[in-house]
Amino acid sequence: MQGCALVTAVESLPATPVVAAPAREQVPARRASAADTVRAYVALTKPRIIELLIITTIPVMFLAKGGVPNLWTVVAVTVGGYLSAGSANALNCWVDRDIDTEMRRTRRRPLAMHTVTPNAAVVFGLVLGVLSTLWLGFAVNWLSSMLALAANVFYVVVYSMILKRRTSQNIVWGGAAGCFPTVIGWTAVTDHLAWPPAVLFLVVFMWTPPHFWSLAMRYREDYAAANVPMLPCVAPERHVAWQMVLYTWATVACSLAVWPIAHTGWVYGIGAAVLGAGFLVVAHQLHWQARKGVSGVALKPMRMFHFSNSYLALLFVLLAVDPLVRRF
Band (pLDDT 50/70/90 cuts) for residue 16 is: very low
Q: Check residue 314 and give its pLDDT.
A: 97
- CATH 1.20.120 residue ranges for the chain: 194-328
Amino acid type, 169 = Q
| CA 107/CA 88 separation, integer angstroms | 19
> Which CATH architecture fits 38-191?
Orthogonal Bundle (1.10)
CB 258 within 8 A of CB 267: no
Amino acid type, 258 = V
Calculate the alpha carbon distances from 326 to 69, 188, 228 in Å: 15, 22, 47
Q: What pLDDT digit, counting tens, does each position of 245-277 carry?
A: 999 999 999 999 999 999 999 999 999 999 999
Q: Check residue 14 and give its pLDDT.
A: 41
Q: Where are the beta strands (DSSP E) in 206-326?
A: none
Q: How many CB atoms lie within 10 A of CB 259?
A: 18
Calculate the alpha carbon distances from 106 to 115, 170, 252 in Å: 14, 18, 31
> How is residue 174 annotated by DSSP?
H
Q: What pLDDT digit, counting tens, does each position of 27-76 carry?
A: 344 566 888 899 999 999 999 888 888 999 999 999 999 999 999 999 99
Q: Check residue 49 and give its pLDDT.
A: 86
Amino acid type, 241 = A
Q: What percent of the chain has pLDDT over 70?
A: 90
Q: What is the CA radius of gyration of the chain?
A: 26
Q: How many CB atoms lie within 10 A of CB 266?
A: 11
CATH topology of domain 194-328: Four Helix Bundle (Hemerythrin (Met), subunit A) (1.20.120)
Side-chain-side CA neighbours of residue 271 (13 Å) = 20
Q: Check residue 327 and give its pLDDT.
A: 75
Q: What percent of the chain has pLDDT over 90?
A: 81
- CATH 1.10.357.140 residue ranges for the chain: 38-191
